[in-house]
Amino acid sequence: MNESNPFPEHLPGRVVVLGCDGFIGHHLARSLLAIPDLEVVGWDRCRTRIGGFESHPRFTFRFADIASGRSQLGEDVARSQAVVNLAALCNPSLYGSHTLDVIRSNFTDVEPVVRLCAESGTKLVHLSSCEVFGRTLRSWVPRDRVALPEESDILDEDLTPFLLGPLSSTRWSYACAKQLAERLIEGWGRERGLAWTIVRPFNFIGPGMDYLPGRDGEGVPRVLACFMKALIDREPLQLVDGGTARRTFLHISEAVEALVRILERPESTSRRVIHLGNAANETDIRGLAMSMRSIWARLRKDASILELPLLSVPSEEFYGPGYDDSDRRIPGMKNAHAILGWTPILSLEETLNLTLGDYHLRYPEFE
Ligand code: UGA
């Protein structure tokens, strides 16, 4: 029993983390290794973030693709009590430009993992996405004809429908693959006895998220890293279509705490969908840019940062054709509260202070 969780059903002895070098994966693996006696087998085809614990005596790293290392994966799954599947391409800049890779990583590669878990009786904790909801119902109906209450924007774990756009909106390739993976997992549970939990993350942020273009990677990362790159390099912050889309943000430390609670409760979380987010931390993207800019000016002790412009950019120019966007994502949190006894407490400002504070230390002004 650990302090964060007074009522664990039982702790697993060994957990497989697929995608252990990713943003969520490396934070989770590190936290799991802090639990006495727990063994972690991490899989990834990259090894950029695991340096801090790669040599830990209870950590085994498989530097491999889950699609090519199938027999080893089968052995690891059979010897473990739980698999956490975080292996996925989840960056919106890829959904239209690398659609086939996105569908492969978010659906095709999931199927063998599901099968191996079902065959071994190993619990599968699958990280899906808040993006399965697409856009809110209110965003699809003409406002002058149908007046839906604002509460209808809250995305219920078990009741809210999935509303994606047409085929020409290639943005939704990822959401569609995630939806199908959820249905596959649910079907294996009902027809073949798979024990599963589906987790939908709602915009986790924190240290080590994505990459900074030109420093640790190339391309367009998610919004936090885009804005960090602009702030560090003193460039304008770009607001896609004016930055009116709204998001709720959750600090990665709170997300990992909830994921550990899920692993500690294999029975009560089985065949349940759990949203991990913070409904109180909502902002539009313009507001996010303004908050990050002022926190960064304070951290760097430089008021001139407050003058960095916020520029609206058409989405077609920023992401290419086929981009569409979720207008709003407020997580319904009833399952996380009831099953995990988990409620996030860090405000948006605290979450950003912690996150930007880390970037300030890792990327000093004069490198
Ligand atoms: C992404 C993934 O598609 C989801 O699966 C994932 O769950 C989610 O991130 C997450 O982190 O949880 P999204 O929130 O749209 O979804 O990703 P971002 O790239 O972070 O974009 C957020 C908003 O910021 C969008 O409206 C985007 O257009 C905007 N944006 C992005 C900007 O205005 N400027 C930028 O420089 C980058």
| In the predicted structure, residue 59 carries a pLDDT above the cut 60 | yes
Determine the average pLDDT of the residues in 183-194: 98
323-361: per-residue pLDDT in tens? 999 999 999 999 999 999 999 999 999 999 999 999 999
- What would the mean pLDDT of 139-161 be, rounded to a whole number? 89
What distance in Å separates the CA atoms of residue 77 and residue 43, rounded to the nearest whole number?
A: 11
Residue 359 domain flag: no
Is the per-residue pLDDT at 366 higher than 80?
no
Give residue 267 CA to ligand 1 midpoint distance, Å.
33
What's the pLDDT band for 9 if we cut at 50, 70, 90? low
**pTM higher than 0.85 for the full model?**
yes
Q: Is the pLDDT of residue 6 over 90?
A: no
* Domain assignment present for 319: no
The arithmetic mean of pLDDT across residues 195-222, rounded, is 96
The CATH code of the domain that includes 35 is 3.40.50.720
Ligand 1 neighbours, Cβ below 6 Å, are 90, 92, 129-131, 174, 201-204, 222-223, 226, 238-240, 243, 245, 247, 285, 325-326
Q: Is residue 324 part of a domain?
A: no
CA of 223 to the centre of ligand 1 (A): 5
Bridging pattern class, strands 14-18 and 82-85:
parallel
φ, ψ for residue 7, nearest 5 deg: -125, 50
The residues annotated with a catalytic role in the active site are: 174
Question: How many domains does the chain divide into?
Answer: 1
Which of the listed residues 89, 240, 324 should we mutate to test ligand 1's pocket, taking the one with most ligand atoms within 8 A of CB? 240
SS3 247: strand
Could you identify the residue written with the tokens 């890293």?
225
SS3 191: helix
* Domain that includes residue 88, residue range: 14-209+250-280+329-346
DSSP E strands in 153-308: the ranges are: 154-155, 196-201, 204-205, 237-240, 246-248, 250-251, 272-276, 282-284
| 323 assigned to some structural domain | no
336 alpha carbon, distance to own chain's centre: 16
Q: Which residue has the higher pLDDT, 266 or 145?
A: 266
> What's the sign of the alpha-carbon dihedral 273, 50, 257, 23?
negative
Query: Is 142 part of a structural domain of the chain?
Result: yes
Q: Considering the domain boundaries, does residue 134 fall inside one?
A: yes
Residue 179 lies in a domain: yes
Share of the chain above pLDDT 90, in %: 90
Q: Is residue 193 part of a domain?
A: yes
pLDDT at 4: 45
Cβ atoms of 206 and 359 closer than 8 Å: no
pLDDT tens string 65-103: 988 888 999 999 999 999 999 999 999 999 999 999 999
